[in-house]
Every structure is written in C-alpha cells, then in structure tokens.
Amino acid sequence: ERRFMKIESPTHCPSCAHELEWSNHLLYCRNPSCNAKAEKRVSHFVQTVKIKGLGPASINKLNLASIADIYDLTEEYIADHLNSDKLAKKLIFEINNSKDAPLNLVLPAFSIPLIGKTAAEKLSTTCNHITDITEATSRQAGLGPKATENLIKWMDTEFPLYKDLPFSFKFEKKKQLESKGIVCISGRLKSYRTKAEANKILEELGYTVKSSLTKDVTILINESGVESAKTTKARDSGVTILTNIQELIGEIE
C-alpha cells in the first residue's frame, strides 16, 4: 500500500515573514520591501547594465537593498566591506562606467514585467528620452497591451524613485543605412572563393544580401553561366541579372 506524505504549504515568506498569496498554483510574496526580492532586483540590474565584479555575494556583503544604493557606494566603503582595495578601485570604475548606459539597457534593468531588451529597442524607434514614453508611443512602437500597461504603471509609480539616478535616460538610436540594392547570388562564384566572402564585401558597400530570391530582390548575380531556376524567375520578374559581381562593385568604386 502506497502512502503519501502530506506537505504543508508555507504561509509566510521565509525572508520577510510577509503573508504569501496564491496565484496560478504558485505562491508569491507581494511585499515590495522583501529583502530577497530587493537583492534579486539589484542583481538583475547589475547584470543588465553590465557592472562587472558585483555578484550576489558582493551585493550581500555591501548591503545593497536598492538600485540607488549602488551609486551611493564609495571606494572606502567597498574596500572595508570586501576587504580589498584592488576590488574597490575596479568596482568603482565599473559603476562609473555604467552611468553611460543608454536607456536601451537601463530600462530592461528595472525588472518591469514584459519589458526586456526587445521591448526597449522597439521603444527607441518612437522615443528619444524616457519622458517620451506614453501609452500612445508604446503602442506605436509595437508593444502589446499588457506590456504597455506594465510600463505606464511603472512610469507613474516607480520611475519617480529612480529619476535622480546618474543616467541620461536617453535611447541609443541604431544607425540605419539606406540600402543601395537587394542582391541575391545564384550558383557558384568565379570572382570569390565563397559566397560568404562576397556577401561581406557587398554588405560593406551598402547592399542588402538575401539568400533566396524574395520579391524585394533587385539584382541577381549569376557567374556560373547555368540557367538556374532563380535566374529564370528573376528574368521573368524584371530583376537585373549580372554575370560578373565586379560589375556591381565597380559601380560603387
């Protein structure tokens, strides 16, 4: 006869003693001041903005209970608590270096549900500064309803606590170069040993290279002399066909 041991679920958080709540068959501590949660938030922030040398053990030894505490650290305090002048100098350097982090990294570091690096990159297309973030700009950037709701709630309730941190809170914009054309290579090349080598040169010159003949391809390169299916399709579609890749490169040079 099989016997089962009944396990009693905990009722209070082992870290802060706050009463636990059930949600989707899981227990959660909803106490925003919970020490364990605070350490996790600080650890996540450090990893995301890439402050090297500040791991969980150091966070604990330095008694970092909030993100703001990181930027209040002094070299003397670190040296005293980590018992190392060398580590203190290195850590202060890393902390100061992190102040240059763009909002693309800083925003995901705040542990906002559903707001990771992908969401931050999307926001960078519609916003320049954190104060540009609104429900409208979030939706325009392509964020979903729940992500937008979480972000706007954070902006209203928590961002005021962080607005004095030493960041510019500006998004870094990706430089987008206008493509000189979209190229597809059919068959083997005679001018280059590999397609990868040719692709690299074409991309450096400002062309976009596709591995298949998509509808947006404007130039097909076929040095093999073989009438491939790609070549026939390209000719029927009015795509420019070149038999020597140097013709294309020569146009730019």
Strand partners, 54: none
Find out whether 47 and 117 touch, Cβ atoms under 8 Å. no
- pLDDT at residue 177 in the model: 54
- For residues 184 and 221, is the Cβ–Cβ distance under 8 A? yes
Q: Are 52 and 94 in contact (CB under 8 A)?
A: yes
Give the pLDDT score at 4. 65
Those residues whose C-beta lies under 8 Å from the C-beta of residue 177, and which sit 6 or more positions away, are 206
Residues pairing with 184 in the sheet:
210, 220
Residue 228: what pLDDT?
86
- pLDDT score at 3: 66
Pairing of strands 208-210, 219-221: unpaired
pTM of this prediction exceeds 0.75: no
Query: What whole-number distance in Å separates Cα of residue 220 and Cα of residue 160?
Result: 55
- Low-confidence stretches of the chain (pLDDT beneath 70): 1-5, 15, 18, 24, 28-29, 32-35, 175-178, 250-253
Q: Would you tell me how many other CB atoms lie within 10 Å of the CB of residue 177? A: 8
Task: State both tokens at 237.
Answer: 């579609």
Position 124 scores a pLDDT of: 94
